[in-house]
Amino acid sequence: MSALELAAAIRSGERSAVDVLEEHLAVIDAREDEIHAFNLVMVEQARREAVDIDAHLAAGEELGPLAGVPVALKDNMCTRGVPTTCSSKILEGWKPPYDATVVQRLTAAGAVIIGKTNMDEFAMGGSTENSAFGPTRNPLDTSRVPGGSSGGSAAAVAAGFAPLSLGSDTGGSIRQPAALCGLVGVKPTYGRVSRYGLVAFASSLDQIGPFAATVADAALLLEVISGHDPLDSTSIAEPAPGLLSVLDQGVEGLRIGILDELSGHGVEGISPDVLARLDAAVEALTAAGATVERASVPATVYGLSAYYVIAPAEASSNLSRYDGVRFGPRTDGATTNEMMVATRTEGFGDEVKRRIMLGTYALSAGYYDAYYGKSQKVRTLILKDFAKAYEKFDLLISPTAPTTAFPLGAKTEDPMQMYLQDVCTIPSNLAGHPAMSVPFGVGDDGLPVGVQILAPAMGEATMFRAAAVLEKSGGAQ
């Protein structure tokens, strides 16, 4: 059953929240050792929440739109009294004293938080192999990666451990694993969803968003977590968008552009079978009444380069707080400075250290203007080029990821090859625009391919209309 169907069944009394939870816990028991989607399964807390929901229903109280639906959370979202590790040894055992805003909204909507999911350490990676607690495997083929950095959240939904999950997307960390696991994954407009309680990687890029098996379930979850939050200074002062109500409106009359620079013409490494699925998506949208033409956003070819200056620079600043004084375990040293160096050397993994050093270098005296300043100028160019494209088009489309899910260990020795996994997704983060991945058939290896739909800021409703059309068309080969 979909999340929408489960919530309706629980509200009607056809199902109980306890029974639904126990069914999902049984699936977790059967496959979690094989997949490692979770850092923590919150069994007892989830059972208490499910019992409470059934008690409220028995008392005749109104239940929220996610009544009794199990939801998994990426382990970089604060949960009061529950460990939040970001899959890093430097935060192992840390229990936040408050809930993230998205957690509060899930609870208010009646959701049952089932666990905290594995991730690339501090959200830095494209395969969920950088976790201090071991890699996550793709439930569709356990010899392959689930994508990253929100691979645990994607795997949890793909394996049936939870109907819904939340991830964070800084450069593609929701959309890329959604594509590799055959799911719907959404990065909302920057500021659409509160970042309060999200452990920061790169503050001007991070956004929380949903994973789901269907477009409608993703729309439901995004409606629940969206909306203004005074605790987040970057939160947009607008109410949550109405998304479920637009899913049947179709794409008749919409103008959709195939983004040249992200569709094999401006970037290397996109597999022919991925491009074939994009062509099929174009046919489906055209058949549904959209006008589809080629589009150009020239500056996006510099997106990867700009991102890997801006994101590490922000990360080096954000991660300076993990010093052995305020958070997590401490490694002793003869002096305060030696203690901090030892703690950070012991506590951070290789990829996090790599990005901290890159970012610190880019921000250092004599290099700031040459690297960080120039990258911010490129970011402005990307915004301007997108604005010009959206004068002509309502939406843009591209592949989500260059390939289907790749084997575990295939790219761990070559960081540049791993970084290229985000080449199609990064531009939307730099622009702050919404984008989503919709599964659309399979590649030559039988594994899922995702098509990315991009929209201008606050354009989620139009984006979901196109996603519903692609889903309805079935992605047939």
Strands (E), 137-266: 164-169, 184-187, 207-212, 255-259
User: How do residues 135-176 score in pLDDT, each as one tens digit?
Assistant: 999 999 999 999 999 999 999 999 999 999 999 999 999 999
Query: Do 362 and 411 belong together in one domain?
Result: no
pLDDT reading at 5 higher than 50: yes
Task: Check: pTM over 0.85? Answer yes or no.
Answer: yes
pLDDT reading at 472 higher than 80: yes
Looking up tokens 């951070």 gives 348
Domain boundary among 369, 404, 425: 369
User: How do residues 298-325 score in pLDDT, each as one tens digit?
Assistant: 999 999 999 999 999 999 999 999 988 8
Domain boundary among 335, 369, 403: 369
Q: What is the mean pLDDT of residues 103-113?
A: 98
Domain boundary among 369, 398, 420: 369
CATH number for 110 = 3.90.1300.10
Q: Are strands 38-41 and 207-212 parallel, antiparallel or unpaired?
A: unpaired
> What pLDDT shows up at residue 327?
75
Catalytic residue among 87, 88, 149, 398: 149
Query: Do 83 and 222 belong together in one domain?
Result: yes
> What pLDDT shows up at residue 93?
85
- Told to judge if 173 belongs to the known catalytic residues of this protein, a careful annotator would answer yes
Catalytic residue among 131, 173, 226, 316: 173
Instruction: Indicate the SS3 state at residue 218.
Output: helix
Strands (E), 25-163: 38-41, 70-74, 112-117
The residue type of 439 is: P
pLDDT reading at 290 higher than 70: yes
pLDDT reading at 477 higher than 50: no
Query: Do 203 and 233 belong together in one domain?
Result: yes
Helix (H) or strand (E) holding 448: strand 448-454
User: How do residues 334-360 score in pLDDT, each as one tens digit?
Assistant: 999 999 999 999 989 999 999 999 999
pLDDT reading at 266 higher than 70: no
How many degrees, rounded to 5, is the angle at CA 283 between CA 278 and CA 284? 95
> What pLDDT shows up at residue 387?
98
Query: Do 185 and 253 belong together in one domain?
Result: yes
Query: Do 23 and 133 belong together in one domain?
Result: yes
Q: 147 near 180, Cβ under 8 Å?
A: yes
Total domains present in the chain: 2
Q: Which two tokens stand for residue 92?
A: 């192992």
Catalytic residue among 16, 74, 131, 194: 74
Write the CA distances from 320 to 96, 124, 315, integer angstroms: 18, 16, 8
pLDDT reading at 476 higher than 60: no
Q: What is the mean pLDDT of residues 366-384?
A: 95
- Told to judge if 149 belongs to the known catalytic residues of this protein, a careful annotator would answer yes
pLDDT band at 265 (very low <50, low <70, confident <90, very high): low
- Told to judge if 364 belongs to the known catalytic residues of this protein, a careful annotator would answer no
Q: What is the mean pLDDT of residues 452-475?
A: 96
Query: Do 271 and 385 belong together in one domain?
Result: yes
Query: Do 126 and 255 belong together in one domain?
Result: yes
pLDDT reading at 398 higher than 80: yes
Query: Do 106 and 243 belong together in one domain?
Result: yes
Strands (E), 79-206: 112-117, 164-169, 184-187
C-alpha to C-alpha distance for 68 and 112, rounded to whole angstroms: 6
> What pLDDT shows up at residue 164?
98
Query: Do 147 and 112 belong together in one domain?
Result: yes
Domain residues for the domain of 352 are 305-369
- Mean pLDDT of the chain, nearest integer: 96
Query: Do 217 and 268 belong together in one domain?
Result: yes
Query: Do 242 and 358 belong together in one domain?
Result: no
Query: Do 252 and 400 belong together in one domain?
Result: yes
